[in-house]
Structure formats: C-alpha cells, structure tokens
Structure 1
C-alpha cells in the first residue's frame, strides 16, 4: 500500500527561540548508512536569512519510531480478545488504520532527521521551522521540507581604526557643593510650626479628587506627607497649599497621573492638617562626623569629589563603549530575518506595556502622552531599537568566534552576581532560577559578547572633548559586559544603563 500525503507537521522541532538564539556547539550528524540507502538532505538558500531543507528518509530509518508508535497506541487502546499492550500490529492496522500509526511514527522521527540535516548543512537555525511532509510512501520513503530562519553570514571588517570622542571627566566646586547639600538634606529635621506653609515646608494633607462632579473611588487619600516644591504630587498642589495654615483648604484643577481616571482633568480639594518646618544641620565638622566617617568638612568634600570623579569616569567608559559599538555596527552589513525582527519588536512592546509600565500604573497611551510621542513615532523607535539589538548580538557573536573568546567559571559567577543584584534576588536564588529555566547558555553568551566588545574598545582610539586620549583598560571587561546587556534588554535608554 502506498500512502501519499502533504500536510503541515504538528511536531515541535529544535530551534525555538524567545530572543535571538544562542549559538550552539555543532553535533556530528547521527545519519548512518543503511546498506546502500541513507538519509539524504539538501539545503536551498531562499535569502541571506532563510533556507529550505529537503530531506529524503529511507523507510528503514523509520523502523524505531514505527515500533514506538505501535507500542504507544497499544497502551492507549483496548481491543476485545487481546490483553492491553499485547495487540498485534496487524490488528492495530485493521482497527485504527495504518495511517494513524505512520502519522505517530513520523511525528516522533521528524525532530531527529531535522536536527541531523541542520548539523550536516552546518546551519544556525533561528526559531521553529515550517515543516511540510511532501511524500510518505509506506514501506518505501519519507520526504519532507523544512523552511527556517538562519543566522546570516557576517564579515567583520578591520575595526582597529575606530575613533570616538567622549565627554571629559570634570567635577566643579559647584558639583561638590551640590552633592554635600544633598547629603545635608537627608539629615534635615522637622518641627511643627503655627504659621502659613511656605516652600520647603513639609505639610500633611488630605486629598479628594472629583471628575465630572463625582468623587472617584480611588480619589481619596488622607495623611499624605508632602514637601512643598518637591514636585512629587499633583501639578498645582504647590500653589494651592502655599500660604495655608493647619486647618486651611483649597481647590485646584490637575491632570491625574494614575488610577481609574488617569489622564483626566480632576477638581482636587486639599486640606492641610499640619505644617512642619525643615531645619538643616550646619555645614561644619560636626555635620561631617554625623553624616560620614570623616572628622572634618574638608575631608567630606574631598571624598565627595572623589566619588563624583569615579561616577563620571564610569559614565565616560559607558559612553565610550556605546559609541564604539555604534561605530562597529556602521561598518558591518547585517541582514535581519523578518520574523525574528517582528517577534523581537512584539516582545519589547509587550514587556514595556505589561511589565515596566504596568508596575508604574501607566497605560501605553498615557506613557506616549508623557513622552509627547505619537504611536507612529513610538513604533518607529521600537523597530530601530529591536534592529540594533539583534544586529548587536549577531555581530558580537561573530566576534566571539573570530577572536576565539571563551568564558571562564569565575567570569560567569561574577556576571551572575551582578545580574542577581540588578534583579533584586540573592545570587543563590538567581542561579537556581537560571538553571531551572535553562538560561545558562544565555548568561554565557552575555559574558562572551561583553568580552568581544571589550576587544573592539581596546583597539579603538577614545579621546575626550579636551583632546586627551582615554585609557579604558581598568574594569573594561565588566563594564563592556554591562554595556552589551543594555543594548539588548530594554526599550528605554535610561533603563538600559541602569540594568546594564
């Protein structure tokens, strides 16, 4: 009997991705000769990022899967006169059809033959393939095709001539004074006063918000502490409470920043229940001893200057890495798989809308209004960021191979600790989550890409705005890893730096 069919395979094949798949070590093809008959595969390049595999399988190669199919069906069905699990193959064919057995066997065997064809063709697949069974002849052969996106071939040009300019590290006396003042603010004390509230005072207020004359269910708050002039509450509240004593009230109009009526104009009534004046400590040696481990104010200021310089140096190094990376990407032509790009855009949009903005109580529409962007501008930016993220990973992965970079256990552990800190988890908790989620290769890839970027930065000429050549050797590996992570993981530039 010859059974011919053309259908979409329903099996889950290797190569699925969430983000860009990590390059995996190649396995030697397990395809073995069967007399003078062997599994044959051919690769057709459809475009620089997509191929079609055509695989011809002699029926003898299906025998293990065919036996497994009979065994599986045996355990699932009952036939009068036969014990469960002891039904002969011919009876299963008669009762349930040979086609059902063949379908089960093919679905079991396809992943193995697909993987062998991928390895034989030395391909780097991205995502799930689209599989068509084009021919299935019982006792003769199986032929199927698999279309799949692949990593494009990339040529890394000479990058030794890259030159970038970064901001100079400069800390002024005003910067130091501002830092000390911020520290002074943290040690301010408050005391209740019997007078009208003024800027800088801390007031305790009750709030009630109405929209269209109706008090909102989530529009009432009592005992809210607010520092006048801080800008941490509703627009218009500073003017409303300034000049009020305890027991005074005022009404003002403001656009609500969150809640059920987010984005709507509300009539807000504010009642002041208490006014406190803030008292700052004197800037002297006593304050230095109170606020730090130093004995004198001069020592405290010197330490503040050192901290600011270190912070600016880190910002300078991050800026250098980002500019070097941008210069490198401009040198390399990278075709992008369309489906991979679409999936990446969707993932980034989902994460922003349902995680980052969700935690802030914002909708995407409200976020766009705050950012003063149209939906079209947002989509264009998101696409640009996704393209850069994928291109960055492809280029740096290629550099990892070209420079023969490897990742040691100590490097991986240090990276894991940093990632744990940024996620708010303990290293042990984060490591367990990584292992259980099968994400170890992802972390290894992040470290390797960071090292690849460090190689390029080391070869580049980095000059500050004062014309001084900058040496970024110190802590380069760590900072480069963080910069590489940042380019992949966030749609917000500020979030990229903080997460990196």
Structure 2
C-alpha cells in the first residue's frame, strides 16, 4: 500500500492512498460472502448461489460498496499510521478508483492536530501566597459546622423570617385559571433561599402559623415554561408550620459531638490545620494553572474548530454525568434553567478552547523535555485507583483496557509530570494584593 500526505493549509491536508489489487480482490470475496446470504436467486437457497451466477445476475459492481466499507477503514488507519499524522475530525473521502482487478485509490481531506511553536516556558514568574488561615476564616468554618449540626425546632408564637423553613400549601392561578405544577401541599420552603419565583418568599416572610395569604408574583420573561413566562400569577398560600434552626453552642460539648476531641480548643486547632492543608492544595492548584496558562499564552498555535467542538461535547457529557449523580439529567437541567443545549455548548466553548490549547502546549513541552511515563508509574496509579474503588490493580487495568482508556491514563500521567516540571522550573514572586477602589462619596 502506498500513502502520501500533502498539507494544503495550516491544519488541513490531503492523504492519497493506493491499495494493491490483491487486497481489493480479498475485500470483494468478503463482500460476496456477506451479501450472498441474503441474495434471492430462483433455484438456489440463500447463501448457496455460486459466485459466477451471482455476478452474471447482479453484476460484480453490486459488491463494490460493501467491499469499500470493508477495506476503506483498515486502509485509512494504516495510511494514517504510515504517514504519522494525527487526524482530529472525520475525513472527507473521495473514491477515485475501485474496480475488480484494479488497485483501490482514494483521497481523504483531513484536519490534523496543529503544530505548536513554543515560547518561554521555563523561569516563568508565578505569584504565590502563604497558606495562612485567619481567625475570620476559622470562625466562618465553625459557623458553617454549627449550621450543619443545627436542629429544626417548631416556632409557634413568632412570624416567619428569612432562614426559617415554612411548611405551606400553595395553589397557583394565572387569569383565575389553575396551571400545571402550581399546586402543592405541606411543601417545605426555606425562606431566603431564592428557590421559588422572585417575590414569592418575601411575601411569606411575616406570616404566622395558620395564616392564609394571596401571594402575587410575575413569572420571569425567560421562564422555562413558555406559557407562563412574563405572566402575573396569584398563589393562595396557607402556612401550616414554621421551623427555625437552633444552632448548638460552641463549647466543649459541641467538640465532643462532632469530633474525637474533648475540648473546643483542641478541635479548633485541628480544624485550623485542616483548613491550612486545604488552602495549600488550593494554592498549589492555582499555581499550576497559572504556570500552564502562561506557557500556553507564550506559545503560537492555531486550533482547529473541530478540536474545540469535540472538547465541548466531552464537557457536556461530563456535566450530564455529574447531573445524573445528583439525581437529575440534562433535559431536567435545561428545562429548569430555561436554556437550550446550544446555549450550554456556547457557554463552554471558551473553557474548551483553553483546555485544548493548554493540553497541546503541554504535549509539545513533554516531547521537548523527553518527559515519559514508565510502566512502574502506570502501575502505581493503577494501585491508587484500585484502593479508591476497592478493586485489585489487575481488575482496574482490565477495565481500562476493555474500554480503550489505558492509553489515556498514560497521557494523563504525562500531563501531570509536565505540569510538575513547569512548576519546579518557575520562579515564585510575592502575590500583590489588589487595592480596593475608593468609594465615590459624591452626593447624587
């Protein structure tokens, strides 16, 4: 087989392939064995029609398309490997010659992975901050833990306030006509959560147990249900019960309840250490992102639209997976948010382009610096994954091999090593805190 590659634009070229006549004959044989099973010829059972009779009745040309479908994918794959190119989109294939006794010639217009011209990537200045935890941050974390361990108590004598859980019945009407989804009984609504139509929760604030009230609101213009968008509605509301969070006292008893420590001071010391560790991880991630972004910004690369679109689809699939883990799906999310799939894709496009650019630059830096992943490193990662998923490393390897992801694991490890290389070769500079703009004190 002969294969030649000619670039016609930056990331676009033509792959010309000629396959030997012997392989064409073999592909025609496979095509006949497939088609003859369904051929209806008087006097012969299906699958038993002799080849000469089949060709005289239907013509050898009737086998061409099936033979091309058999031969083209394998010839294309071999040609790509032979010419050492990296396609990033489906090829546009033009069949130039295919006939019995002749070679098979086709051309494929292909978008390939772009070339990257590296700029400076060593000695990049990266601002760093100290992983210090302030008393304000520690107090905020303790307040969050208080909220998490708060008890809900029924309030009978006071009016509903923001932060309370109001247990309500509601029945919604538009133009005095009830609408679908506008009715519920004993629904628990956290006031101030902004989970209902704008203006609804504010009008429940101040109600007392047993009160009835007509709550008047207007649906947002971009509301997901088009028949309700922009419409005025009246909800007949009955307040059954008010529940209020009762925060536990911050004392030694609290520390005993939520941790293994005997005193609040011991617990606070441990909590501060945890926050410092968490902040160190966050700052490490910020530094890694900063140095990769700088290296990518210094490089020159023209990214094909096909690579960006492919990354967008990957991001959409990942997002859908996360939604399903939370008990939702993509259709539900789009309905609730009033968006279309195209809206979501457009929102992700900027991040997708940045991801593709960064990964392309990291790949080239890895080659430039001879950064490779050993089999030992792969095995170590498999062991880590096995511990996380309560499986054996052999099982994890088998799963990744079956779904074709073992190579992706090596690529991921290579990217990590390359990022570590960039960080270790960067220069730490003190982060400059932004000075807040002076407030305008002029009278209106």
Under TM normalisation by the shorter chain, which class is it?
0.7 to 0.9
Residues 230, 352 of structure 1: alpha-carbon distance in 2 compared, 3 angstrom cutoff: closer
1:328 deviates by 1.2
Aligned to 1:457: 423
CA distance in 2, matches of 1:360, 1:86: 51
Aligned to 1:114: 76
Output the aligned Cα RMSD. Answer: 3.7
1:385 matched to 2:347? The reply is no
- Contact kept in structure 1, 2:120 and 2:295, CA below 8 Å: no
Please point out which of 293, 296, 303 is paired with 2:260.
293
Please point out which of 269, 276, 289 is paired with 2:236.
269
1:447 matched to 2:413? The reply is yes
CA distance in 2, matches of 1:427, 1:278: 47
- Contact kept in structure 1, 2:378 and 2:410, CA below 8 Å: no
Consecutive unaligned residues of structure 1, counting only runs of 5 or more, are 1-38, 468-500
1:281 deviates by 2.6
1:239 deviates by 3.5
Q: Which residues in structure 2 correspond to 1:55-70 (within 5 Å)?
A: 55-70=17-32
Residues 163, 262 of structure 1: alpha-carbon distance in 2 compared, 3 angstrom cutoff: farther
- Contact kept in structure 1, 2:371 and 2:414, CA below 8 Å: no
- Contact kept in structure 2, 1:55 and 1:143, CA below 8 Å: yes
- Contact kept in structure 2, 1:184 and 1:281, CA below 8 Å: yes
Aligned to 2:103: 141
1:296 deviates by 0.9
SS of the aligned residue for 1:219 comes to strand
Residues 227, 84 of structure 1: alpha-carbon distance in 2 compared, 3 angstrom cutoff: closer
1:134 deviates by 0.9
Aligned to 1:490: none
Aligned to 2:16: 54
1:271 deviates by 1.7
1:44 deviates by 1.0
1:94 deviates by 0.6
1:306 deviates by 1.5
Question: How many residues in Structure 1 have an aligned counterpart in Structure 2?
Answer: 419
Identify which range, 337-346 or 431-440, moves more after superposition: 431-440
- Contact kept in structure 1, 2:219 and 2:228, CA below 8 Å: yes
Aligned to 2:442: none
Q: Which residues in structure 2 correspond to 1:282-361 (within 5 Å)?
A: 282-345=249-312, 348=315, 358=329, 361=332
1:250 matched to 2:213? The reply is yes
Please point out which of 407, 411, 414 is paired with 2:384.
414
Q: What TM-score, normalized by structure 1, do the two folds share?
A: 0.72
- Contact kept in structure 2, 1:53 and 1:145, CA below 8 Å: yes
CA distance in 2, matches of 1:150, 1:231: 48
**Could you give the per-residue CA deviations for residues 420-466 of structure 1, whole angstroms, max 9, x where no partner exists?**
79xxx999999887555433333433333222222212221234427
Residues 368, 114 of structure 1: alpha-carbon distance in 2 compared, 3 angstrom cutoff: closer
1:363 matched to 2:334? The reply is yes
Consecutive unaligned residues of structure 2, counting only runs of 5 or more, are 434-444
Aligned to 1:34: none
Identify which range, 309-318 or 393-402, moves more after superposition: 393-402
SS of the aligned residue for 1:175 comes to helix
- Contact kept in structure 2, 1:197 and 1:245, CA below 8 Å: yes
CA distance in 2, matches of 1:347, 1:277: 43
CA distance in 2, matches of 1:302, 1:354: 38
Aligned to 1:191: 153
Q: Which residues in structure 2 correspond to 1:174-213 (within 5 Å)?
A: 174-199=136-161, 200-213=163-176
Residues 157, 412 of structure 1: alpha-carbon distance in 2 compared, 3 angstrom cutoff: farther
- Contact kept in structure 2, 1:168 and 1:464, CA below 8 Å: no
1:238 deviates by 4.6
Residues 426, 281 of structure 1: alpha-carbon distance in 2 compared, 3 angstrom cutoff: farther
Q: What TM-score, normalized by structure 2, do the two folds share?
A: 0.80
- Contact kept in structure 1, 2:164 and 2:190, CA below 8 Å: yes
1:71 matched to 2:30? The reply is no
- Contact kept in structure 1, 2:382 and 2:396, CA below 8 Å: no
CA distance in 2, matches of 1:386, 1:117: 30
SS of the aligned residue for 1:126 comes to coil
SS of the aligned residue for 2:404 comes to coil
Aligned to 1:104: 66
Residues 252, 121 of structure 1: alpha-carbon distance in 2 compared, 3 angstrom cutoff: same
**Could you give the per-residue CA deviations for residues 231-262 of structure 1, whole angstroms, max 9, x where no partner exists?**
45454345423333211123333455877467
Q: Which residues in structure 2 correspond to 1:86-97 (within 5 Å)?
A: 86-97=48-59
**Could you give the per-residue CA deviations for residues 389-439 of structure 1, whole angstroms, max 9, x where no partner exists?**
222222223334443321512214535777x79xxx999999887555433
1:97 deviates by 0.2
